[in-house]
Structure 1
């Protein structure tokens, strides 16, 4: 997952960890530093952008709204 500054048109960082391609992602509704990504490998990851870390790693089905 690449994090971009669209105004500056530059990549701010890369979050690695999925073994399959990322299908979707979304940000936390009230904390823009938290995102979740879902992958074709069957996992989802919860990321904390303040420290560029993978806070949680789980496998299973999820529904992102």
Structure 2
């Protein structure tokens, strides 16, 4: 998963939370993300572009760190 902005990401299906860890060290939880959106992100050629286009614009988030 090479990305210039995202170190890693994981999904909690029970809570429908997508957690994204950025290269900067910041950690964000995106809430109420359907599992199919997570699967699309896994398959996306550019994780950062997908996050910007499909996640940041549609889902509420909380900065964890």
Which TM class, normalised by the smaller chain length? Answer: 0.3 to 0.5
TM-score w.r.t. the length of structure 2 is 0.46
Larger radius of gyration: 1
Q: Which has the higher contact order (CA 8 A, sep 6+)?
A: 2
